[in-house]
Every structure is written in structure tokens, then in C-alpha cells.
Chain A
Amino acid sequence: MRVHVDPKKCEGHNRCYALAPELFDVDDEGYASEVNDGIVPAGVEDKARRAVANCPEYAISIEE
């Protein structure tokens, strides 16, 4: 499973980083990006789905 943040849509709400700091980081201005090429380690899949389902800007996509 992989996650991806669309930088054109991200407005820095910080929901993904709060829910899944293993998968996302934020830059100094608060905009998010996926860490480790977005690869979701085993056992963290639920957190990945949670992050997607809580992004107000629909900026995160997931590849199962």
C-alpha cells in the first residue's frame, strides 16, 4: 500500500500528520508530504485509510 499527498491540493490542515506521523511529515510552512516514498509498512494500513478519510481538501490518495 502507498499513500500520496497532492501538493496542489494540500492547504496544511495537518490532519494526516496528526493521525499518522509514521506516514506523513510537514514542512516549515505546515504543508504535508508522504515519507519513505509513501510506502505504508505492514500494520499501519488503517492509519493510512484514516488519514485519507480525514483530509478536508481530498488531497491524499491511496494505492492498495
Chain B
Amino acid sequence: MTSRHRPPVEDWATDFDHTDPRWVADPYPIWDELRRTCPVAHSGRYGGTWLPVRHDDVAGVAYDTEHFTSRSVVVSEMRPGPEDLPAPIGLAPPITSDPPFHAMARRLLLPAFGPKPIGTLEPLTRELCRELLEATAGKTEFDAAVDYAQHIPLRVIIGMLGFPQEDADIFRRFIRLVLEDVDMPLAEREQLRDEGELDSYMNAQIEDHRAHPRDDLTSFLLEAELDGNKLAPEHIRGTMVLLMIAGIDTTWSAIGASLWHLAQHPGDRRRLSTEPDLMPTAVEEFLRAYAPVTMARLVAKDFEFNGCQMKEGDWLLLPFPAANRDPGVFPDADKVIIDRAENRHAAFGLGIHRCLGSNLARMELQVALTEWLSRYPDFELTDPAQVTWSAGQVRGPRTIPVRVVA
């Protein structure tokens, strides 16, 4: 989606906009230039937004929960006021929670997303990937994002939450609304919110799970206790929304970007086909180079950060993808080196908000790419100009037309 309502950016250091078509198409040269000339940029858009692009500064913000709050993590025209955000929980705990509540809400969820429980989902994920690839049988041209990448995390998380698989299309619409329509005019956005569709959907699922408890994350949240009390209804709903949204288009973006890269790099394809043990290392490099997620913070109180006077309530974009391209930390940062041995990338964030689903995302990526290459070791973009990228804080290819050699 392109920025429909905003004037084009004149100067990235003083007027950046993460929904500008140039940023959406290729943000890396913009960040490279800023890293040299203005490492903490400011824009008046969205009511005032900061943008650090060096690894050190991105890490510094991520670690500083005193001066930056996570109560809202998606920059939009809808600037939340204190009354909109139930402190300390936030709208989607724990991603929108601050210490000390954050640690409690997070600890509750961590065991379900550890490497060991996530490992048990691998056979199911592999089967799903094979089914999706089988559905492409006989075709020489199809869309690697629409026909493959987007379905994988969507179906896995729907299964984990215990929602009906046939609701996949409803979820896709919610995701677009929450994450990709940040440049929608305020009135239009509020109108959409007022429909309350997402809340109604979640409430219906909660009622169904209350009546028929089962072994899934929704029932787990309904049974869970903090300090001897059941979770507040808004906590349960918020966490379900978070798991659904954070678990889907992020990984879909990472799988898509990796396939987009492989479509254009026959050497990397061949190497991964002949050296399958390299896949985990290659996946880390794809995550570094094409990290999908830029987070955001609100400045919690007036203070000076690297010579910038930040004011309470200012937005700050936290571009982990830019940190991952900092040549001061990653030699040859702009090259994709699938056997990169030293790779402290920040694709899953840094500090206390490290992506809860990182083990799930890694498993899905490794399985999705391995299965794809085993079926289609040779493929290419039918037309690079037809590849489109999502706008907003989750960046990934939404259409990847490919031609495969069956």
C-alpha cells in the first residue's frame, strides 16, 4: 500500500515517513545515509516522531524502559492519551506493558514458546508446507507470498489459539487494519475501530472456550492466574490479539523476503540444497538482512537523548532492521552472507521485550524454506517489478510472482 494522504518526503533527516513509497520499496539507502549524516532523525509527521538508525542507539532505546514506554508500539495518527491505555497492562500485554507488570505477563506466556514446546509443532508445520506446495503441482507460475508464505504462520497460530481454520481470511483483514493502514485518515480509522469487530470475534472465541475448554492457548489464558487472580478480561483479549497479529504477518514477511532473495540468488539456492545443515545459519542471515519488524515507543518523560531534546508523548520508531545493517557492527552489512559466522542480529528485538515467538518464527522459517527448496530447488521472479512490499512497521513482500522449474 502506498501513502495516499501525505505529501512526499522532502528530507529524510527532518521529514521522514515510514509509509512513504520510497521507504516502503527500499528503506536501506535511506538508513545508510542517515547513519552517516543524522543518526537520530526527527519528523513532524504523526505529531512528532524520532528515528535512531545506529545499532548502539537502537539498543540504547530498547534497554531504556525508564524514558521510553511500550504502551503503544504502532506509530499512527491516533496518538493515544492516558485514558486510552489501561496502565500498566496496555492494549496487548505484554508487548504494550512496562515494568514491573510486564515481567509477570510475559513469564506467563514464555513456557509455551520455549524451544522445546515449539519443537513439537515442527511435524505439523512441515506437513502444512508440503500441502501448500502440493497445491501448486502442475503450475509453473504462482505467487510465493500469496500461495505459500502467508498461510504458514497464519495456520500455525490459529491452531495454537484453537480457532477455526476456516477463519483465516478474517484474520488477514484484522492484520491489515491494525498494522498496514497507519496512514489512513483519523476519522476513517476511528470508524473502523468503532465497529468493534475484532473484540466481538475474540469475545465469541472466549465464550466458546469457556463452554468447551481444550488444550490450546486460549483455554490456557482463561485458566491462568497472576498473584492468585484470574487474568482481567481485557488482558486475555489483548494477549490473544497480540499473539494473532504478532505471530502472523511478521513471519510471513520473513519467509517471503527469504524466498524473494533465493529467487534471485541461484548460488545460495544451490548451496542450501546441497548443504542442508547450513539452513539454520542462513535463516539467521535472512533475519538480519531482511528483518521485518520495526517497533515503536512513546517518550515517557522529557529528556535528552544523544543531543536530541525528546518530549513526553513523542513517538520513536525503533528500527531493528536498520540496526542490523549497521556496518559498525556487521562487516559487509549490505551483503547477504548465508554462512555468516558472527551474527548478533536484533531482528527479534533486544532487552525485556525480545520477541516472545522467536523460537516459533525460526522453526517456521527453517521448515518453510527447507520444504520449498526440496520441492523447487530452481525458481526465479517472473518480473521483479511486480513484487510489492507492505507499508508500515512490518516489512515484507506481499506479492512474489515466481516461475518454478518443476
Instruction: Report A's interface with B, CB cutoff 8 A.
Output: 11-15, 17-18, 26, 28-30, 50, 53-58
B107 near A58 (CB under 8 angstroms)?
no
Chain B residue nearest to A17 in the complex (CB): B115
Residues of B near A28 (CB, < 8 A) are 110-111, 114
Docked Cα-Cα span, A52 to B280, in Å, equals: 16
Name the distance in Å between A60's Cβ and chain B's nearest Cβ. Answer: 10
Residues of B near A54 (CB, < 8 A) are 284, 342-344
Docked Cα-Cα span, A60 to B345, in Å, equals: 15
A12 near B344 (CB under 8 angstroms)?
no
Scan B336-371; emit 1 where CB is below 8 A from any A CB, else 0: 000001111110101110100011001000000000
Known contacts A11-B350, A12-B110, A13-B354; A26/B343 CB under 8 A: no
Of the A-B pairs whose beta carbons lie under 8 Å apart in the complex, a sample of 11, sorted by A's number, is A11-B354, A14-B115, A14-B358, A17-B115, A18-B115, A18-B280, A26-B114, A26-B116, A30-B113, A54-B284, A57-B351
Name the distance in Å between B231's Cβ and chain A's nearest Cβ. Answer: 18
Known contacts A13-B348, A56-B350; A26/B107 CB under 8 A: no
Chief secondary structure at chain B's binding surface: helix
Known contacts A12-B110, A14-B115, A30-B114; A53/B352 CB under 8 A: no
Residues of A near B351 (CB, < 8 A) are 11, 57
Known contacts A30-B113, A54-B344, A56-B345; A14/B284 CB under 8 A: no
Chief secondary structure at chain A's binding surface: loop
Docked Cα-Cα span, A12 to B107, in Å, equals: 11
* Known contacts A14-B115, A56-B345, then 6 further A-B pairs from the complex at CB < 8 Å, ordered by chain A residue: A11-B351, A13-B348, A28-B110, A30-B110, A30-B113, A56-B350
- Interface size of B by CB at 8 A reads 23
B284 near A26 (CB under 8 angstroms)?
no
Residues of B near A55 (CB, < 8 A) are 344
Query: Which 8 pairs across A and B sit closest by C-beta, in order of nearness?
Result: A53-B342, A29-B110, A11-B354, A30-B114, A28-B111, A56-B344, A14-B115, A54-B343
Residue of A15, A18, A50, A57 near B350 (CB, 8 A) is A57
